[in-house]
Amino acid sequence: MKKRKHSKKYIKAVRKSVRLYKVILPCVFVGMLVLGLFVSTLIPLRPSFSENEKRELAKFPSFSFSSLFDGSFFRGIDTWFSDTFPFREAMISANEKLENLRGFGDRIYGLNNEAVNNNIPSQGDPGEVPTESTTEEKEPTVPDQLGEVIQKLSNVVVIGKAGYEYCSFNQSVADKYASVVNKTALKLSGKAKVFSMLVPTSIDITMSDSVRKDINTCDQKAGMEYIYSRMSSSVTPVNIYKALRMHRDEYVYFRTDHHWTALGAYYAYEEFAKIKQVKAITLDKFEKKSFGEFLGSFYTNTNSSAMKKDPDTLEAYMPPYKTKLQFTQPDGKVIDWYLVNDTSSYPISQKYSAFTAADNPYTTIENLEREKGKTCVIIKESFANALIPYLVYNYKKVFVIDYRYYKQGFISLAEDVNADDVIFINNMSAVRSESLIDRMSSIAV
């Protein structure tokens, strides 16, 4: 076949195009970098709250000469810049989807007992899976939801007027969480007893079995048992899954919010008291109050008209014992507050802040009814807020650390206050988040 010859004019044009592309492509690349840098500096576009991680994001640090000289000012800028980058959560979500499409990562959907057992790493010295309180009583059932309209919106499934958060399991993050708890128990060996309470979310408790069996979401019971199995014998697990299932036909979780109710938290408290072998204060000792209608995170994320027409009710149980609570804000300001605060006049979306002064880096609580008593440190996220008012009954002093905001070391704090107990309280959605567990790990000193 005769080779085709191009004219000199054609060859010259091709060479010109190649040279032009060599100039244009780097310019486009640099232009995109400059545009990205410009967008990243637009303060109004930077988020202040993470819906996925349920926490406030880092704020731009205040300037001082001491922070300038010790380097903390620039470290604060670095944290603020990465934590609040515009469209951060959208990019993280897109990256996770790409990773899953490519087959990377160890997140397991539709997790079952066999999958959990087959994925337990051989390294380390895992403890035994805790046994739950046994009972011959049969689990109650909840109304069948098959006939209700089902909508899938982002990471939330809406069934009629109730929302549920999909659960996923990440083995490497679960191992990291267990490692943090084990490290705490090792460091405090002979000084404090360490407890770990994993809290299931509503999808495994109050969703009807007829719908739940077809939902592609992880088996939280199996995930919890795996995490507990990775904890050393120095850690006391508080397995509350069965206790909540035994009350699943009661108002133990909100419909429009991802949290449990004060009643659900009380049943978890009862289980903790059994395992710790202390007397639990009975619920009839509390005065039950309603703080009005409540529309939580599921409504905010979905704007469900069914939820809006039939909101939750924020019910609280007022402690019969006198307490002194002080919380420290991120700016260091210390404020006196209430263990349970009447939020009747609060916006309808903020009623859950009634418990334990909501989410703050550091909170101290003293039970004024006890002249003497034990001290505990609680490492938590927002699920613990509704539980803490009951725990205060069994202690003289309670120190609460929200690891999403606290910047000091909680192991050293436990040593400084001579803590008798350290209690980790985290829901199953929190312990799948690598960024949250990394944050917890960074202050496990």
**How many of the other CB atoms lie within 10 Å of CB of 22?**
9
In the sheet that holds 375-380, the strands lie side by side as 235-239, 193-199, 421-427, 375-380, 397-402, 362-367, 323-328, 334-337
**Whether the predicted pLDDT of 37 surpasses 70:** no
Q: In the block, which residue shows the tokens 């959990």?
A: 116
pLDDT at 36: 62
Band the pLDDT of 334: cuts 50, 70, 90.
Answer: very high
Amino acid 75: pLDDT: 64
Q: Compute the average pLDDT of residues 207-225.
A: 93
297-306: average pLDDT: 91
Smallest CA-to-CA distance from 124 within 238, 224, 236, 233 is with 233
The Cα 148–Cα 161 span in angstroms is 9
User: Taking every pair of C-alpha atoms in the chain, what is the biggest distance, in angstroms?
Assistant: 104
Task: Note the pLDDT of residue 211.
Answer: 93
pLDDT for the residue numbered 113: 33
What is the phi/psi pair of residue 369, to 5°? -80, -15
Other CB atoms within 10 A of residue 388 CB = 24
Label the pairing between strands 397-402 and 362-367: antiparallel
Which has the closest alpha carbon to 235: 163, 183, 286? Answer: 183
Asked if 295 and 270 count as a contact pair (C-beta separation under 8 A), the reply is: no
DSSP 74: H
Q: Which two tokens stand for residue 280?
A: 């639990």
pLDDT at 179: 98
Q: Is the pLDDT of residue 41 over 80?
A: no
Nearest to 238 by CA among 280, 197, 200, 277: 197
* Range list of H helices, 207-333: 209-212, 220-229, 241-245, 262-276, 297-302, 305-309
| pLDDT tens digits, 156-188 | 999 999 999 999 999 999 999 999 999 999 999
Where is average pLDDT lowest: 20-29, 214-223, 226-235, 296-305? Answer: 20-29
Show the tokens assigned to 154. 């982002």
More confident residue, 53 or 13: 13
Q: Structure pTM?
A: 0.75
Of the listed ranges 149-163, 287-301, 395-409, the one predicted with least confidence: 149-163
Rg of the Cα atoms in the chain: 26
Strands 193-199 and 169-170: unpaired
Which tens digit of pLDDT belongs to each residue from 62-88? 777 766 776 667 766 666 666 666 665
Q: What is the pLDDT of residue 417?
A: 98
**pLDDT score, position 42:** 56
Residue 101 has pLDDT above 50, yes or no: no
State percent of the chain over pLDDT 70. 75
At residue 157, the 3 state secondary structure works out as strand
pLDDT at 274: 98
Alpha helices by DSSP H, listed for 72-190, are 72-83, 88-102, 113-118, 171-187
Do 205 and 383 contact (CB within 8 A), yes or no? no
- Helices 220-229 and 171-187, interaxial angle, to 10°? 40
pLDDT (average), residues 326-354: 95
Average pLDDT over residues 140-162: 89
What residues contact 288, with CB distance under 8 A and at least 6 apart?
315, 316, 317, 318
Q: Which residues contact 111 (CB under 8 A, 6 or more apart)?
A: 169, 218, 219, 222, 223
Contact 245, 220 (CB under 8 A): no
Q: What is the mean pLDDT of residues 103-110?
A: 33
Contact between residue 175 and residue 431 where contact means Cβ atoms under 8 Å apart: no
DSSP calls for 374-424: -EEEEEE-GGGGGTHHHHGGG-SEEEEEETTT--S-HHHHHHHTT-SEEEE
Q: How confident is the model at residue 216 (pLDDT cuts 50, 70, 90)?
A: confident
**Helix, coil or strand: residue 88:** helix
Which letter does DSSP use for residue 90 in this model? H
Question: Pick from 247, 251, 271: which is nearest to 259 by CA?
Answer: 251
Q: Residue 300, class by beta-carbon neighbours within 10 Å (0-12 exposed, 13-18 middle, 19+ buried)?
A: middle
Instruction: Give the pLDDT band of residue 98 (cuts 50, 70, 90).
Output: very low
Q: What percent of the chain has pLDDT over 90?
A: 63
pLDDT exceeds cutoff 80 at 48: no
The half-sphere exposure of 174 on its side-chain side, counting CA atoms within 13 A, is: 26
∠ CA 371-372-373, rounded to 5°: 135
Q: What is the rounded average pLDDT of the residues 391-418?
A: 97
Residue 114's pLDDT is 32
Q: In the prediction, which pLDDT does 246 show?
A: 98
Average pLDDT, the chain: 84
Q: How far is CA 249 from the centre of its chain?
A: 25
- What pLDDT score does 119 carry? 40
Kindly tell me the burial class for residue 63, based on how many C-beta atoms sit within 10 Å of its own C-beta (0-12, 13-18, 19 or more): exposed
pLDDT band at 346 (very low <50, low <70, confident <90, very high): very high
pLDDT confidence tier of residue 338, bands split at 50, 70 and 90: very high
Rounded CA-CA distance 207/61 in Å is: 43
Q: If DSSP codes are grouped into helix, strand and coil, which group holds residue 240?
A: coil
**Among the listed residues 424, 363, 364, 367, the one whose alpha carbon sits nearest the alpha carbon of residue 392:** 367
Determine the pLDDT at residue 155.
84
